[in-house]
Structure 1
């Protein structure tokens, strides 16, 4: 057989072997399943990439959406997951503890902003002083996410209630809600971004981090109404929103408070060891916390946990990254 043919057949055999081995290697990777809030999609994508580079035998699988919906997929539908991260730590307390999780780690904050683009009506006029007048104009389309599925949704309504009280504009909230059409409310806050960018929506309520990550224009609000500052919690609690409860036909009341993200390791986690490693990387000031800070989402360093008892349920590595703080 000519030498060239021998080399060709050798290369062909090697290529076939590699093709057969590659799927096997991928299949051998450990799976780490993370459910998380849609507003964490961009930072978690980067954190996933960095974590997998350090741990090449682990394959991070993320599913995201409204935090309440994600929690219910675990508690009501029995979906397997290792970690759940919520845009409102209260969702973890109400939906997952104590049956599905033991701990709730508060790791970041955020603030509400009103997003828009150059295509938005009155884009050249709107500011932090006149945004209420702009939103009430009959030709303006504005939206928010579903309060029953996504904390950003009920926080959007809270901002409107607080604005009425803070600016002393009686009837503002009801006027806006009556004007709002059903199709302006979407399951996830991140779905509103495409509507803004296409020009089908003028304004949308989002977290500051989402606005920064997607290069959106936005109106900043007074701290007394943007839910960013825990020192204003006494005023924030003037806002209340009813959302659907755990059982069909029931409701629960969400009361205004500063925005705090929470994360938990689930009791029946398929891969608890990998989950613990990911959480340690996320809470590392030079790891995931640095990514959050870079992307417009202030982290709590160290992260916070409610009690010594809860802290004691964490691994030693995790305990070094949290502090007990109410």
Structure 2
């Protein structure tokens, strides 16, 4: 009898604890953010600031920008905010069915990261980097162009380099010779063709991963010598010994005045989408399926405001001030003052 009473009492206690946990979860104030991998550190800082200011928990998921958006559009997952390393992906893949607008909020540039353990690191410079990368024994990395803007932007940079340096062997020696990626020249412009991701495998010359930040660990552990990555991410890893080489603005996708030069290169993805090279600009939106739109608006106000700009700058990204929006009239009223 006593044993039965203990069992009954234990069952009641467990049931009460389960109810408490469920109630606490249901009452928790939170938002969910899907964002580009290159935004991981600045968005972590923003999340901490947001939680401190509003007491609202921030849950984040980082992935390549294409994969990030497809979580909403293809997998049907809900997010309160989606942030992409390429604003045009939001405009093309989410509007108008999954989002009403896209806010352009920051810029970046592509660089070549390396460490003091990288082969020929004492020799590499802005004039010979493509020769260094092509040397026997040198291994470099870039992310999957089908899944991550940094990957297709790497292809843009390498093709633009072939144009800028008047050296058609650059793209061939570094890309076509080592991957199934191909290019074609017609009507004074280049198209780079990206095959299905299943055929984009790493080899002794090149390492390919779904997201550019996945490759940073490989660089820091000397699995690769060099890595095409955003300047902001390279700066964020300086503490671990990462250094980087800046490239000419004719090829690094940083200069709005060079847009006509960048436009000479188009990437055709494996799914048939075409992406023309242009300056790097990040975008953010609140999807239509957001469950906590009021909280999401507050987060974007933080992102676009003075504190958010300080956090971006601290982490090596240049905020757009004011931000830019394709459909300002559809923005929540409290965000409009931050946008032109």
Band of TM-score, shorter chain: 0.7 to 0.9
Please give the per-residue CA displacement for 1:163-218, whole angstroms capped at 9, x wherever unaligned: 01001112210111134362111100001100001100000100000000011210
Please say if residues 39 and 210 of structure 1, whose CA atoms lie closer than 8 Å, have aligned partners that are also in contact.
yes
CA RMSD in angstroms comes to 1.8
* Superposition pairs of residues 151-166 of structure 1, within 5 angstroms: 151-166=149-164
1:289 positional shift: 1.4
1:241 aligns to 2:267 (yes or no): yes
Shift of 1:27: 5.1
Task: Tell me the distance in 1 between the aligned counterparts of 2:81 and 2:154.
Answer: 26
For 1:314, the equivalent position in structure 2 comes to 331
Q: Is the 8 A contact 1:109 1:299 kept in 2?
A: yes
CA distance in 1, matches of 2:109, 2:178: 22
> Which of 60, 63, 83 is the aligned partner of 1:62?
60
Q: Please tell me whether residue 212 in structure 1 is matched to residue 235 in structure 2.
A: yes
Q: CA deviation at 1:263?
A: 0.4
Partner Cα distance (2:223, 2:37) in 1: 21
CA contact (8 A) 1:143 1:180 kept: no
1:97-246 to structure 2, matched below 5 A, reads 97-180=95-178, 182-183=201-202, 184-215=207-238, 216-245=242-271
Distance in 1 between residues matched to 2:22 and 2:218, nearest whole Å: 39
2:320 to 291, 296, 300: 300
Given the two structures, how large is their TM-score scaled by the length of structure 1? Answer: 0.87
C-alpha separation between the residues in 1 aligned to 2:43 and 2:120? 34
Measured after TM superposition, the shift of residue 24 of structure 1 is: 5.6
Assess, with a 3 A threshold, how the Cα gap between structure 1 residues 195 and 160 changes in structure 2: closer, same or farther: same
Equivalent residue for 1:291?
Answer: 311
Aligned mates of 1:265, 1:296 — CA distance in 2: 24
SS at match of 1:300: strand
Q: For 1:21-69, what per-residue CA distance to the aligned partner results, in whole angstroms no more than 9, with x for missing partners? A: 798656522220110000000000000000110011x111100110001
Counterpart contact for 1:282–1:288, Cα < 8 Å: yes
Q: What are the equivalent positions in structure 2 for 1:21-40 lying under 5 Å apart? A: 25=24, 28-40=27-39
Partner of 1:13: none
Contact 1:141–1:203 at 8 Å: present in 2 too?
A: yes
Unaligned 5+ runs, structure 2? 1-18, 180-200
Deviating more after overlay: 130-139 vs 37-46: 130-139
Distance in 2 (CA, whole Å) between partners of 1:320 and 1:21 is 42
- In the alignment, structure 1 segments of 5+ residues that lack a partner are 1-19, 246-250
Residue of structure 2 equivalent to 1:272: 293
Q: Residue 43 of structure 2 corresponds to which residue in structure 1? A: 44
Contact persistence 1:119–1:202 (CA under 8 A)? yes
Helix, strand or coil at the partner of 2:68: helix
Structure 1 ranges of 4+ moved more than 6 A: 20-23
- Secondary structure of 1:316's counterpart equals coil
Secondary structure, in 3 states, of the residue corresponding to 1:80? coil
